[in-house]
Amino acid sequence: MADQKLLPGDVHWYDLPDEAADAPDDAANLPGGAADVPEERPRRRLPGRWLRRAATNSTAILLLLAAWEALPRLGVLDPVFVPPLSEDLVAWYDLLVTGRLPEHLGASVARSLAGFGLAIVLAIPLGLLIGWYRPVADFLTPLLELFRNTSAVALLPVFTLILGIGETTKVTFALYACAWPILLNTISGVKTVEPLLIKSARSMGLGPAGLFQKVILPAAVPTIFTGVRLAGAHSILVLLFAEMVGAKAGLGYLILDTQSSFRIPDMYAGIITISALGVLFNLLLVGVERRFSTWRTT
């Protein structure tokens, strides 16, 4: 059978790209051939996908809250000691309206931020120094190993005996507890920088100061922020113990006072506030970490 003579505008499947070859036959018969087939636009992410993901991530929390409400009402848990969630939220609202909750919350946040901020200012430079200079690391490592394995809560009586029961003790206690995650992660971040990066920077003529500024510090930022996030959680949790000793305000004092006076819903209101504060603080630190780590590839 003789080959058919191709006319201008005739297109065969083997002359087309893979995507056009898979297109329906009627698309190739459009005026001008397959070249007139409109390109497929990139699909936009639908809001429903984001909503489904948010619903999946919050399922466990919703189940916990539902159990908190249902189990005391069904008699599975004693409602005297574990009131339903709705009663705890009513107590939380009453504390908010009367002004007691903002007073205690403000005192705790001020102490936590003071200790947390001082820990960042002191621990990050010290960690960079220990991680970068071997003689400093050899001198301080035995002392660090001694204190890192000593619980901060166990040292609270020592802080109280030395500094008294005032604000200095609470801020210093938060500082001590927050410093260790930041310090240890900073040291680890500096020591685990890829050696090839350091060799490449030195081969390009970077001196010690430029090498530290342009290679070591940026590479250690993610690990440092991991320590900062851990310290953020520590700043709230350990402060509760300090506020239970000689304090007149603070969430820790609120929880201890309501427990001793058997105002159980108010006690749970304080616990809910601490949990919400910890979550918000962590989200804030995650946002700051993303802001300072935009150079990383995802």
pTM (whole model) above 0.85: no
Cα dist. 52→42, 59, 87, 171, 197 in Å?
21, 11, 30, 42, 41
Do 231 and 112 form a contact (C-beta atoms < 8 A)? Answer: no
pLDDT band at 293 (very low <50, low <70, confident <90, very high): low
Longest C-alpha distance within the chain, in Å?
A: 106
Query: For residue 68, what are its two tokens?
Result: 């908190």
Do 14 and 28 form a contact (C-beta atoms < 8 A)? Answer: no
Taking the C-alpha atoms of residue 201 and residue 203, their distance in angstroms, rounded to an integer, is 5
Ordered by where they begin, the domains of the chain are 105-292 (1.10.3720.10)
Taking the C-alpha atoms of residue 158 and residue 65, their distance in angstroms, rounded to an integer, is 39
User: Given this model, what pLDDT does residue 213 score?
Assistant: 75
- Give CA angle at 182 (178, 187), nearest 5°: 145
Look at 9-18, 55-64, 153-162 and tell me which has the smallest mean pLDDT. 9-18
**Secondary-structure percent of the chain, ordered helix, strand, coil, rounded to 5:** 75, 0, 25
pLDDT above 90 covers a percentage of the chain that reads 26
pLDDT band at 160 (very low <50, low <70, confident <90, very high): confident
Convert the pLDDT of each residue in 9-27 to its tens digit.
554 444 444 444 444 444 4
Convert the pLDDT of each residue in 95-122 to its tens digit.
999 989 999 999 999 999 999 999 999 9
**Torsion 148-150-156-158 (CA) sign:** negative
Taking the C-alpha atoms of residue 21 and residue 290, their distance in angstroms, rounded to an integer, is 43
User: Given this model, what pLDDT does residue 28 score?
Assistant: 46
Convert the pLDDT of each residue in 181-224 to its tens digit.
999 999 988 888 877 877 777 777 777 777 777 778 888 888 89
User: Given this model, what pLDDT does residue 14 score?
Assistant: 46
CB-based contacts of 167, cutoff 8 Å, min separation 6: 111
Q: What is the mean pLDDT of residues 116-143?
A: 89
Look at 44-48, 84-88, 240-244, 262-266 and tell me which has the smallest mean pLDDT. 44-48
Tell me the average pLDDT of the chain. Answer: 79
Hey, what amino acid is at 148?
Answer: R
Residue 243: Cβ-neighbour burial (10 angstroms; 0-12, 13-18, 19+): buried
